[in-house]
Amino acid sequence: MERILIIGGNGCGKTTLSNKLANKLSLPLIHLDALYWNDNWKPVPDEEFDRLLMSELVQPRWIIDGNISRTIPLRLQYCDAVIFMDFSRIRCLGGVVGRFVKNYGKSRTDMGGNCPEKLNAEKIRFIKGVWTHHQETRRRFYDMMSEADDVKIVILKNRRETDQFLSEL
């Protein structure tokens, strides 16, 4: 595994896993959120994001964590492995709420720009979306992965499986 995608529901622990995996395998780590967000939760234009992403995809070794669903088919063309953290909806919701509380007023290290966590209408919609769109998102991820040729697919259903996966590497 030299080019690894880590995808999964919001709040499932993609960043935590990617940090541990990058350390264990000595692979460069790219957080999609760092490429995607400018200060104050303003997304970069799609053209700029696509250019930044492509400059990472052509590198010989990497771990890329994050969803940004429209780019998964492209990323699947460059990766040799996908780790799908297919955690329960309640686990994802708990992760999002816990991350929000832990980082309230601060910008996370995996974010681009200065994007402090704050409670506003957008955050409430985001949290609600974690709950309401979970099944739809899972289905889309499985559909996209089913079309990936010559890609190792690892599906992790919970923290125990994730810890076991890491220990067995």
Q: What is the DSSP letter of 107?
A: B
Residues 116/107, Cβ–Cβ less than 8 Å: yes
pLDDT at 111: 83
The half-sphere exposure of 98 on its side-chain side, counting CA atoms within 13 A, is: 10
Residues 111/100, Cβ–Cβ less than 8 Å: no
Evaluate the CA torsion angle 14, 19, 20, 26 in order and state its sign: positive
pLDDT at 109: 84
Query: Order of strands across the sheet with 152-156?
Result: 29-31, 62-65, 3-8, 81-85, 152-156
pLDDT at 135: 85
Segments of the chain scoring below 50 in pLDDT = none
